[in-house]
Copies of this chain bind each other. A is one copy, B any other.
Amino acid sequence: MTGRAADNVVQTITNRIHSGVLAAGDLLPAERDLMAEFDISRTVVREAVRVLASHGLVTAKPRHRPVVRKAGFEAALDAAGSIVGNLLQQPGGVRNLFNTRIMLEASLVREAALSAKKTDIAALKAALAANGDAIDDSEQFYQTDQEFHAVLYNIPGNPVYPAIHRAYSTWLAPQWGRMPRIADRNRINFSAHTAIVDAILLRDPDAAEAALRSHLAAAWDQVRLTFGDI
Contacts and interface: CB of A to CB of B under 8 A. Distances in A.
Given A96-B158, A96-B159, A99-B156, A86 B111 contact: no
A55 B71 contact: no
A51 interface: yes
Given A97-B160, A160-B97, A86 B18 contact: yes
A63 interface: yes
A12 interface: no
B2 A156 contact: no
Interface residues of A, number: 46
Contacts of A18: 86, 89-90
A119 B2 CA distance: 45
**How many copies of this protein are present in the complex?**
2
Interface stretch (A73-81, A144-152, A192-200, A221-229): A73-81
Given A96-B158, A107-B103, A54 B72 contact: no
B79 A54 contact: yes
B158 A99 contact: yes
A31 interface: no
Given A62-B2, A79-B79, A158-B100, A14 B86 contact: yes
Contacts of A63: 3
The 7 closest A-B pairs by CB, nearest first: A54-B54, A3-B62, A76-B83, A80-B80, A76-B80, A79-B79, A107-B107
